[in-house]
Amino acid sequence: MNTAARLSAYGAALALVFGGAWVTGAALGPSPSNAAEEPHGRTAVEGLAGHFGPDHPDDGHSHGGEERGHGAEPVPAGLSSTNGGYTLSPTTTTLPRGAVSEFSFRITAPSGKAVTGFKVEHDKRMHLVVVRRDTAGYEHLHPEMSPDGTWRVPMRIDTAGTYRVFADFVPAGGTAQTLGVDLSVPGEFSPAAHRPSRIAEVDEYQVRLEGDLVAGKSAPLTVEVTRDGRPVTDLQPYLAAYGHLVALRAADLAYLHVHPEGEPGDGTTPAGPRITFNAEVPSAGTYRLFLDFQHGGKVRTAEFTADALPETAGTTGS
C-alpha cells in the first residue's frame, strides 16, 4: 500500500485523496451510546455514501451527488464540503510532513450543531479516504468520535502536496453523504504521472482488472487476485466484504465508492479469486481505481488507471 499518508499504527487503511459547533441536540440524531446502527447487507453500489450508481436507496437523487435544482444534473460526490445541509469542518487544513499528528473534524447539520448520530455502514460509522491531488498516496482509515461529535484519527504524511480528504458517512435519519476538503502538507514534491494500467503488483500478489467503465451506465468490473501465480480462494472479509473499490475521476477527484456483489457468509459468494463490482461513473475520462482486499491478516491496496468509455460506446469485457 502506498505509504505517503498512513496511520502511525496502521491498524486500518487510511485514505484518498479528504466540523463547526460543539453542541449536540436531539434533532441531530442520538448520542454515540444509542446512535442508530444498521447491520451491513447491501451489495454492489449500495451502502456507503457518494455513489454515482443508480442503486442507492437512501439517496433522494439517483446518482448520489449534490443537487443543483429541479431538472439539473447532480454534482458528483466529494467535490464539495457541504451537501444536503451537512458540512465537513476540519479543525485544521494544514498538516506537518513526516510526523504523526492528529487530524480532527466535525460533521455539522443545517442548524450548525455537530452531528453525533451516524448509521453503521460496512462495520463503521465513518469512512475517511485521503489521497494526494495527483492520486498518489491513497489511504483509507476509520476515525473515532468523541461524545461532542469530534472525529479524531492519527495521521502521518511523508510526502508534501495538497491532499483531498473524503468523509463517507450516513447520518442517522438522513441520507448518505460524501463530503471533501483539501489539506496542505508543506514542502516540495514532484507530481506523479499515471499510465493506463489493469494489472497491479502488491507484495507477492497480482491483481488483474477486467471490464470497462462506461459513462452514465452501470457496468461490471471484475478483479482477480493471484499470489505467486496461484489463484487466491481464501480472501478474508474486510469491513463486511471481500473487497472495496474506490474510483476517482482524475480531472477533479469526483468520488465513487462501491462494494462487490454478494457478501461473506451468504452461502453463494466465493472468497476469491474473482470479485465483481457494478460501478457507474458520471462521465468519460480517466479514473484512478483503488481496491482494498485482505489476505493473511493484512489489508493491501491495488491501484489501477482506466479510461471510462463514452455512454454510446460498448464494453470490451476486459
Contact 23, 113 (CB under 8 A): yes
Tell me which H or E stretch contains 87.
strand 86-90
Backbone phi and psi for residue 27, each to the nearest 5 degrees, phi listed first: -70, -15
Q: Where are the beta strands (DSSP E) in the chain?
A: 5-6, 82-83, 86-90, 100-108, 127-132, 139-141, 144-145, 150-157, 161-169, 177-185, 199-202, 205-210, 219-227, 230-231, 244-249, 255-258, 274-279, 285-295, 298-308
Cell numbers 461529535 correspond to 149
Report the distance separating Cα 119 and Cα 207, nearest Å.
Answer: 32
- Residues in the chain predicted with pLDDT less than 70, given as ranges, are 1-74, 313-318
Contact 208, 194 (CB under 8 A): no
Q: What is the DSSP string of 142-180?
A: --EE-TTSEEEEEEEE-S-EEEEEEEEE-BTTS--EEEE
| pLDDT given for residue 72 in this prediction | 52
| pLDDT given for residue 75 in this prediction | 75
| pLDDT given for residue 270 in this prediction | 96
Which residues, 6 or more positions from 128, have their beta carbon under 8 angstroms from its beta carbon?
14, 15, 140, 141, 142, 143, 151, 153, 165, 166, 167, 168
**Cβ neighbour number for residue 257 with a 10 Å cutoff:** 33
Report the distance separating Cα 282 and Cα 65, nearest Å.
Answer: 10
Q: Label residue 14 exposed, middle or buried (CB < 10 Å: 0-12, 13-18, 19+).
A: buried
Report the distance separating Cα 78 and Cα 176, nearest Å.
Answer: 12
| pLDDT given for residue 45 in this prediction | 36
Strand, coil or helix: 26 = helix
* Amino acid sitting at position 296: G
Give me Rg for the CA atoms of the chain.
Answer: 18
Structural domains in the chain? 199-308 (2.60.40.1930)
- Cα end-to-end distance, the chain, whole Å: 25
Contact 45, 246 (CB under 8 A): no
